[in-house]
């Protein structure tokens, strides 16, 4: 059975790590084509923001309005105000998962609030 943990480890976590490294090592202004590729956006969507990506703040602004899966996930995380602990509802919403699947995973683990430490355990119980 494929789980959301596998999806997270294969696709989401590496992209988050790539974004982190990119923001820490890139020279500004950022190349719009690199930003578009990293965020799975069309370059025109990136260029709508003043025609360039001047700094990390511009990059974050693009993420806050971008239409790609990684941008939308980031937007949902911000809407939930990046809580220190997550409810089943938070996880389902942020990661666009079935609420009942997340709730059942938490129930199996006897977890009411999920932390960064317990998140992989929950993800491992969610069929994907």
Q: What is the pLDDT of residues 49-108, one digit of tens each?
A: 766 787 888 999 999 999 999 999 999 999 999 999 999 999 999 999 999 999 999 999
What pLDDT does residue 50 have?
66
Alpha carbon distance 63, 125 (integer Å): 29
Q: Does the reported pTM lie above 0.85?
A: yes
Q: Cα separations (Å) of 17 from 11, 90, 107? A: 10, 22, 30
Q: Are 114 and 86 in contact (CB under 8 A)?
A: yes
Distant-in-sequence, close-in-space partners of 26: CB < 8 Å, separation ≥ 6? 34
> Is residue 109 scored above 80 in pLDDT?
yes
Q: Quick one: average pLDDT of 37-48? A: 94
């Amino acid at each position: 059975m494929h789980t959301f943990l596998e999806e997270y480890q294969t696709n989401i976590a590496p992209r988050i790590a790539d974004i982190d490294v990119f923001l820490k090592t890139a020279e500004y202004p950022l190349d719009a084509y690199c930003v578009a590729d990293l965020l799975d956006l069309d370059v025109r969507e990136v260029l709508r923001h003043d025609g360039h990506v001047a700094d990390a703040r511009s990059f974050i602004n693009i993420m806050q309005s971008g239409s790609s899966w990684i941008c939308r996930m980031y937007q949902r995380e911000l809407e939930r105000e990046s809580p220190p602990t997550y409810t089943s509802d938070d996880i389902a919403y942020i990661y666009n998962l079935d609420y009942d699947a997340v709730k059942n995973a938490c129930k199996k683990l006897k977890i009411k609030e999920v932390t960064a430490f317990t998140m992989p355990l929950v993800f491992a119980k969610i069929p994907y």
